[in-house]
Amino acid sequence: MHDLLTDSDRITRGDLMPRLKRSKSMIQSACKCSDRGRFMGQIWPTLWKTVVCFTVLFWVLIPLSKVTDPQELGGEESAPAFNQRQAAAAHLIKIAASTVSTTRNPHYPSDKPAVRMDSQRVKHSTVKLPAAAVQLDKSTTTTGLPASVEGLIQDIRAAAMRVNGGKAVKPLSRAAKKKWHKRNPCTSREKLPLVYSRRKSTKDVDHDNAAWQAVFREYTILHRTCTSKIRNVTEYLQERITRTGCKFMVCDATEGSGLGNKILLITSCFLYAVLTQRIFLVPSSSLLCDIMCEPFEGSSWRIPDGRVLGLGPSPDFFASVDSFLATRGDDLLLQQHSKNVSAKVDMYATDVSDDWFFQPENRFYCPTEQSFLSNVTCIGVVGCQYTIPKLFSMPTFRPTLESLFPTRMVLTDLLRSLMLPVDSIWHEVEKVEAMQPDRADRRVGVQIRYFRGVEAFEKLHHGVDSRIKQCFLENGILPKQKTKVSDDAVESPRSSNRITVFIASLHNSFEKSLKMDYLQNPPANGENVTIVQLSRKLSQGYGVQDDAQAMVEMILLSFSDDIIVTPMSTFGGVAHAYGALRPWFVQIPPWFVDNPFNVSEPDGPPCVRAQTIDTCSHLPEKQFDCPHDPELHGRFVTDLTPSLKDCLVEDVQTGIQLITSTRQFPSPPAPRHFLSSSFNQDLPC
């Protein structure tokens, strides 16, 4: 690479250009002195260009003759130096063409404007490589990353090379990239981070997680490699083919799941797929593929229907594990993590879902069961629960996850790279943003959910609306209002702050109440308060249009500086995770008690601040059920994993969550270990 750039410099700034210029001058002089000068004057530009071309051929093209076009390679090229040399060659050839273009005869006009060649232009041309080459170089570099993350990247690369016949995978050509992005546009991928960075009152988290971005790039290559080799993934899995060596993770939402539950389930499954180098697939029946961008450049995560894959039921798989170990005895248990031991069951594809808890079976999280699952071609999950905190409890994955997400902002990182809204939804978000005459100095989000429908709303909304307003005033989130006529005579500093309150709810009682309050009693300091609510549908829908509208409101909520959400609502949980916000929970009578319409006022303050940005995993099995791993069996996950805590009782007393911030918030009460098995199972997804 250095030699190529040196050749370029010699062409443009060294001894070659002066020689060419002197040759040009000599040719012009000879033409003028010749008897046939008139004829030569017409053809000298052609002669000059010939001299330049032969010189470039001698100095540039011959030394680069060994640089092969990747499209002509029969195999794959893996060395970053190949890409850099090829990029440099393209630049040098472009420089030569630009040099020739400066000698055009003014009497023969060209359809292309002349290119100005000066030292500043050449300097940038020879040093700055094309974006594609730089991106490839970054994707193949693991320097500076933690050892466990480097190990994960190497595992993903090795999986891609096995699929590709032992050869490294070529990058997508520029034409292929352009075609794919034209077919799968995703404006939000570029613009969504910019909106978060422009918030005035809340500084966005440092979402430039280099380790995760490197892993995501490598996984994208693996995904593309497998899907391009297989072509029809559904047929491949139906026919029980194994020739490529690809392994799969199919994740579908329980019928009737809301958008928040779908997103949390899919992100949980995706993280497991990355950790185990499985190709992640989402059935169209989830409807999620219709509202989210294709996340993996050059391939698709969509399959028509996961039910046609013939996934075996989870009890069969775990029974097969027990039978295999009973046959082999304790010898395998002592070596179960050794690469020399083959822990296999006769099963090509299996579902690992717990139909009662809407998530993978508890035994799924055990090391022994994972060693058997590593030899199963296709794993399926159907559910509606968030299980990433449980992945952090697994000894196999914990070191890698802690290094990959050092601040444990895992859900935020996953949402902003995997779950990006399609252009039609993003344009709706931009329309709402454009309706605001000026960008607000502070944005406040309110998400209100009544789990038992209209009847629960009628009984509870007066108390809920009152507590939300009280929460805002007590914590300085919304400005105080004039309450007396005498306040007009009191001199107070005037403020020009603009505050936007965005409300996401199926009902409009809080919107009307808040508007009436500020209409009758404007802010005491003159702040401008704007209240926005888009929909008031009274009941939740489950179609594509319903999910699209919910996605618009979820993204708009995530733009907030302060947000208050309903306890146990995954809609609010996803919104504050997108925005990297630590929410407030409005105190609301628990909906899961025997009398869901208990209207007694809860004790304590009107709202409680969350202990973390991460949302709550509502129904985890808090004790390991690992009969073949005695060191884990029966232990509580929160006792073994310092980064996991019980969720606040004001949110979900049966849940666990990741403590994402390095700041030391007040510790929650000592866990009483509310077990999910004792929980009322009437849980809406």
Domain shared by 157 and 290, yes or no? yes
Residue 663 lies in a domain: no
pLDDT of residue 598: 56
Regarding beta strands 562-565 and 442-448, do their DSSP bridges make them parallel or antiparallel, or are they unpaired?
A: parallel
Domain shared by 77 and 121, yes or no? yes
Q: Mean pLDDT over residues 324-328, rounded?
A: 82
Q: Which two tokens stand for residue 143?
A: 């320097």
Q: How many folded domains does the chain comprise?
A: 2
From 139, 172, 188, the end of a domain falls on: 139
Predicted confidence (pLDDT) at residue 30 exceeds the cutoff of 90: no
Domain shared by 102 and 167, yes or no? no
Q: Mean pLDDT over residues 528-535, rounded?
A: 91
- Phi and psi angles of residue 154, each rounded to the nearest 5 degrees, phi first: -65, -35
Domain shared by 164 and 215, yes or no? yes
Residue 395 lies in a domain: yes
Point out which residues pair with 445 in neighbouring strands: 502, 563
Which of the pair, 473 or 87, is modelled with greater confidence? 473
Residue 113 lies in a domain: yes
Residue 550 lies in a domain: no
Residue 456 lies in a domain: no
- Domain of residue 134, residue span: 2-139
**DSSP secondary-structure letter at 670?**
P
Q: Is residue 303 helix, strand or coil?
A: strand
**What contacts 353, CB < 8 A, 6 or more positions away?**
314, 359, 360, 361, 380, 381, 382, 383
Residue 447 lies in a domain: no
- Phi and psi angles of residue 179, each rounded to the nearest 5 degrees, phi first: -65, -45
pLDDT tens for residues 267-319?
999 999 999 999 999 999 899 999 999 999 999 999 998 888 888 888 999 99
Angle between helices 410-418 and 210-230 (to 10 degrees): 40
Which of the pair, 192 or 52, is modelled with greater confidence? 192
Longest dimension (CA), the chain: 112
Domain shared by 158 and 277, yes or no? yes
Domain shared by 102 and 126, yes or no? yes
In terms of pTM, does the model score above 0.95?
A: no
Domain shared by 263 and 407, yes or no? yes
| 3-state helix, strand and coil shares in percent for the chain, rounded to the nearest 5 | 45, 10, 40
Domain shared by 107 and 190, yes or no? no
Domain shared by 233 and 328, yes or no? yes
| Nearest partner of 660 among 611, 622, 617, judged by Cα | 611
Domain shared by 160 and 134, yes or no? no
Q: How far apart are CA 516 and CA 528, in angstroms?
A: 14
Burial of 215 (0-12, 13-18, 19+ CB in 10 A): buried
Residue 376 lies in a domain: yes
**Side-chain half-sphere of 508: how many Cα atoms within 13 Å?**
10
- Highest mean pLDDT: which of 99-108, 351-360, 410-419, 675-684? 410-419
Which strand (E) or helix (H) includes residue 564? Answer: strand 562-565
- pLDDT band at residue 485 using 50, 70 and 90 as cut-offs: low
Distances (CA, A) of 545 to 140, 418, 548, 551: 40, 20, 5, 10
Residue appearing with tokens 């805590």: 645
From 139, 171, 193, the end of a domain falls on: 139
Q: Which two tokens stand for residue 87?
A: 């990029």
- The pLDDT mean for the chain works out to 78
pLDDT tens for residues 550-570?
999 999 999 999 999 999 999
Q: Mean pLDDT over residues 209-220, rounded?
A: 95
Count of CB atoms situated within 10 Å of the CB of 28: 15
Domain shared by 134 and 152, yes or no? no
Q: Mean pLDDT over residues 631-652, rounded?
A: 93
Contact of 5 with 13, CB cutoff 8 Å: no
Q: Is residue 597 helix, strand or coil?
A: coil
Residue 436 lies in a domain: no
